[in-house]
Amino acid sequence: MNLKNILQISPEVQKALDENRPVVALESTIISHGMPYPKNVETALKVEKIVRTNGAVPATIAIIGGILTVGISNEQIDYLGQKGTAVIKASRRDIPILVSKKEDGATTVAATMIIAQLAGIKVFATGGIGGVHRGAETTMDISADLEELAKTNVCVVCAGAKSILDLGLTMEYLETRGVPVIGYKTETLPAFYSRESDFKVTYKIDSPLEIAKAIKAQDTLNFNGGMVVTNPIPEEFSMDSKYISSVIDKALIEANELLIKGKDTTPYLLEKIQQLSGGKSLEANIELVYNNVKLGAKIAAELCKL
């Protein structure tokens, strides 16, 4: 099996890479597992439009029929959106199996990073990264996203780790694995739905150019591993931290009572939080993704100039 036979980069994305023009990788789990159809497709297409408006080429990544596809078409986005949760949520461990069985996969942060690196894309924008789950000291439930950040050289722009997680332990894990956590215009780790948490980022950086310089320096040093750029949700969409914390606590209690574990935990909690918040959490989720892809496009554009 040759990599060329299982890695397909769209002509638009490949041309941009060849010409050293900015490209932003985008994940596909948010399409199949993030929200219902057709809202998922509408959001994915708007995300791509925002990337273009901000001067970069979008590269939504998915596994289609066993092919690692970089820059899926509008028709493929609609296909993933309609198929929904029937599409396997694909992390590192799933990629070889899906390729060998010629099946579809919606890529998580970890899988998107892997495929982006194979394609030569340096910047990836998403909603929030996975992390250390609450109670991980007994369950050992730690997202594969964190290990990928420690080994795959891609910059991930996000609104912090999802606030259903243990943010303190997530930061400790990233520090132990040597992953820089950059706060864009903030010294405090954003908490996904809210702009702030009780935890500090590694460094505050105030411009896309300076972030791009840090990425370039990491490459020059030949370090293994990526970088997390945390970008607070816009203030007008930020949710009150006490309110959303109480909603998350209720969702966690129900998940525990139903014995929901492993990779089913995050999608269950996000859906339950959406229900309990009357849809406000979904609106916030969508807006923070839009905000992150704008920043991702600006960082990618500056990186191409260096």
- Indicate which CATH number applies to the domain containing 213: 3.40.1790.10
Q: Three-state SS for 142?
A: strand
Side-chain-facing half-sphere of 257: CA atoms under 13 Å:
6
User: Which phi and psi (to 5°) does residue 236 adopt?
Assistant: -70, -15
Residue 236 amino acid letter: E
Q: Are residues 177 and 247 in the same domain?
A: yes
How high is the pLDDT of residue 283?
Answer: 92
CB neighbour list of residue 193: distance below 8 Å, 6 or more residues apart: 163, 233, 238, 239, 244, 281, 284, 285, 288
If one counts the domains in the chain, the total is 2
Neighbours of 219 (CB within 10 A): 13
What does 208-270 look like in DSSP terms, one character per residue? Answer: HHHHHHHHHHHHHTT-SS-EEEE-PPPGGGPPPHHHHHHHHHHHHHHHHHTT--GGGHHHHHH
Q: For residue 222, give Cα distances in angstroms to 56, 152, 213, 216, 219.
A: 25, 11, 14, 10, 5
Active centre residues (catalytic): 27, 162
Number of residues written out for the chain = 306
Residue 304 amino acid letter: C
User: Which phi and psi (to 5°) does residue 267 adopt?
Assistant: -60, -35
pTM: 0.94
Secondary structure (H, E, C), 68-96: EEECCCHHHHHHHHHHHHHCEEECHHHHH
Q: Are residues 226 and 236 in the same domain?
A: yes
Instruction: Confirm if 157 and 295 have CB atoms less than 8 A apart.
Output: yes
The parent domain of residue 248 ranges over: 123-306
Q: Are residues 217 and 88 in the same domain?
A: no
What stretches in the chain show pLDDT beneath 70? none
- Indicate the residue among 66, 89, 121 that finishes a domain: 121
Taking the C-alpha atoms of residue 11 and residue 26, their distance in angstroms, rounded to an integer, is 17
Q: Are residues 199 and 142 in the same domain?
A: yes
Q: Are residues 35 and 87 in the same domain?
A: yes
Instruction: Confirm if 276 and 247 have CB atoms less than 8 A apart.
Output: yes
Q: Are residues 61 and 197 in the same domain?
A: no
Q: Are residues 218 and 113 in the same domain?
A: no
Residue 66 amino acid letter: G
Does an H or E element contain 25, and which? strand 23-26
Q: For residue 301, give Cα distances in angstroms to 24, 64, 160, 197, 298.
A: 9, 28, 22, 29, 5
Q: Are residues 131 and 225 in the same domain?
A: yes
Strand residues in 91-148 grouped as ranges (E): 105-107, 123-125
Instruction: Confirm if 177 and 224 have CB atoms less than 8 A apart.
Output: no
Q: Are residues 84 and 167 in the same domain?
A: no
Q: Are residues 140 and 273 in the same domain?
A: yes
